[in-house]
């Protein structure tokens, strides 16, 4: 029996990268998975892979930067898969390389809405269902851009730190409801990071040289297993924690 046998998960940003890796890892461990992503084509591809692993999938094409879309994603998950016990907020938005003084209001609000807003709105909508499941688990995502600071990506960094505050506060509020709320702070070879690395090979080499484990993490092999652990009963006494799946690179442990 898998560690998530017969549980239902909603994973946002599941069309690619870390979100997709987590959705598939959950399916391997026995969960049915609602696959949410703004890109319907990639979401459907992930959904097909979940079904190929023998689990139910429901694809939700949505924009988590809009409150109503977050509520719809939760409602569809519950209606189509019969409940909701695990929520993973992996969807994100960033436009690096723009200094603070050059950030316009549109970019600021879009970044905040997708990152911090999307996590908040899905959590708010999911709460009663997570409570009813009897094993509620929320996994949000922090970033070294926030904990370490990142020139040219200040709004994303701020949004990610806002998510940490949200996570810790919700963990204190929702503990009595049997819901655990934790964070992963990854450094992984997601499509976005790989695109940056291809444009900046010297910087990638320098970054990896500073990492104790000497490489970027793999979405499937290094990050998704951490999410499986946090969603499972093995982590039943862990909440309000930031797990640095970063190869030892971050200074905050």
Q: How far apart are CA 129 and CA 123, in angstroms?
A: 10
22 close to 14: Cβ distance less than 8 angstroms: yes
Query: Is 237 marked active-site?
Result: no
Q: What is the 3-state secondary structure (H, E, C) of 198-241?
A: HHCHHHHHHHHHHCCCCCCECHHHHHHHHHHHHHCHHHCCCCCC
Helices (H) and strands (E) in the chain, counts: 10, 7
Give CA separation, 79 vs 10, 75, 82, 84, in Å: 12, 6, 6, 10
Q: How far apart are CA 38 and CA 131, in angstroms?
A: 27
Please tell me which residue in 156, 166, 179, 247 is annotated as part of the active site: 156
Q: How far apart are CA 96 and CA 79, in angstroms?
A: 38
10 close to 34: Cβ distance less than 8 angstroms: yes
Task: Output the six-digit token pair for 138.
Answer: 């929320």
175 close to 137: Cβ distance less than 8 angstroms: no
Active site residues: 156
């Amino acid at each position: 029996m898998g560690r998530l046998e017969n549980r239902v998960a909603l994973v946002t940003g599941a069309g690619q990268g870390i979100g997709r890796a987590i959705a598939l890892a959950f399916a391997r461990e026995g969960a049915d998975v609602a696959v949410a992503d703004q890109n319907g084509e990639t979401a459907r591809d992930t959904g097909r892979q979940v079904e190929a692993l023998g689990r139910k999938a429901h694809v939700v094409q949505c924009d988590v930067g809009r409150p109503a879309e977050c509520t719809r994603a939760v409602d569809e998950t519950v209606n189509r898969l019969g409940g909701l016990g695990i929520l993973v907020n992996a969807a994100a938005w960033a436009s690096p390389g723009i200094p603070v003084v050059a950030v316009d209001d549109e970019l600021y609000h879009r970044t905040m809405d997708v990152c911090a807003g999307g996590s908040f709105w899905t959590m708010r909508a999911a709460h009663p269902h997570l409570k009813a499941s009897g094993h509620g688990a929320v996994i949000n995502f922090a970033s070294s851009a926030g904990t370490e600071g990142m020139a040219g990506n200040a709004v994303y960094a701020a949004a990610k730190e806002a998510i940490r505050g949200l996570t810790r506060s919700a963990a204190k509020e929702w503990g009595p409801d049997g819901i655990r709320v934790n964070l992963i702070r990854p450094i992984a070879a997601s499509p976005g990071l790989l695109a940056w690395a291809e444009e900046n090979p010297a910087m990638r080499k320098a970054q990896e040289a500073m990492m104790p484990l000497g490489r970027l993490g793999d979405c499937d092999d290094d990050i998704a297993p951490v999410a499986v652990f946090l969603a499972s009963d093995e982590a039943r006494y862990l909440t309000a924690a930031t797990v640095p799946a970063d190869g030892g690179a971050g200074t905050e442990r």
